[in-house]
Amino acid sequence: MNNELVLVTGGSGFIASHCILKLLDAGHRVRTTVRSLKREDDVRAMLREGGIEPGDRLSFVAADLTADAGWAEAVAGCTYVMHGASPTPSGSQTREEDWVRPAVDGVLRVLKVARDAGVKRVVLTSAIGAVAMGHKPQTRPFNETDWTDLGGAIAPYQKSKTLSERAAWDFIAREGRGLELSVVNPVAVLGPVLAADFSHSIGLIKRLMDGMPGCPKVNSGYVDVRDLADLHLLAMTSPVAKGERFIGISGHSLWMAEVADVLRQRMGAAARKVPKREIPNWVIRLLALRGDPTTRMLARHLGVMMDATSEKATRLLGWTPRPAEEAIVATAESLLRLGLVGGSKA
């Protein structure tokens, strides 16, 4: 058992909350940042839903990635930092710079205070969005040597993830002064939902369960959040993870129709609304031309294979994720348990 203090940024997030569970289970003490201390009760409730009562082994600091206040206090005495928090613009914040600048500045802010506080290693949660976007269709799976092509047709979120990860590696090379960095690049993250506030990837399973009209021909990799938390812990503690990035994916990518098939086969009557038909590409493109933002984003990915490989994480770290099918089912089961599908709310 370990007793080192680990900072996890953005503790109310889906991935972050599961990382906290994993760290506590491994014996670590955890400090986490939230934008407002009013979120402490919410985070503790999520952890109880995940099966752990953290007590005084978990502490909270109010800190926002857009300001310096609180960050020195947050990292003080920490051996490691897991940084996954990233500003998410909403409402009127739709310009590209509203995504990119806060993400880059936030990563650099965390790395600087971690370095100055004598932290040993930072594990940065990046994304497949920093690896696999903007490329021409290719036949091989994406791996850690790939970087998103910023000259391609990519969304602001993907650009922000790419530039913030690039900035992190540049900082370590130029100003790190011994601070170590490991990066995890997850694909779409599924798994047990701990609260009603869930991620975009979870929203896909909810929409399928709620009976969306059909399945667009889009492809994605998937990973269970519990396995992703394992990967973060391995990236934090393994000596060979220093200076490396690791793609987090379970097996191979799936088409949305395949995800729907898993739900129908495994969830019985609860999956009665899951669509059986695939929406033709021309329908999505027509809706995109009419300006619908969701279908405009989907149109970029129609028919594009987005497979990636976790061979590196398996080989170097011994990481063994569960099958994507189990992640899909665990997501649906937790949405049902919390009353978040079928028109009901928890």
Catalytic residue, from 136, 161, 312, 345: name it: 161
CA dihedral 18, 19, 24, 30 (to 10 degrees): -120
Structure token pair of residue 312: 């590196």
Structure token pair of residue 101: 């600048």
Nearest-5° Cα angle at 303, 299 to 308: 110
Q: Give dist(CA 26, CA 241) in Å, integer.
A: 18
Q: Give dist(CA 246, CA 186) in Å, integer.
A: 8
Question: Is 22 assigned a catalytic role?
Answer: no
Identify the residue whose tokens are 């960050």. 71
**Half-sphere exposure at residue 21, Cβ-oriented, CA atoms within 13 angstroms:** 26
Beta carbons within 8 Å of 121's beta carbon, 6+ residues apart: 80, 81, 179, 180, 181, 182, 236, 242
User: Which sequence positions are flagged as catalytic?
Assistant: 161
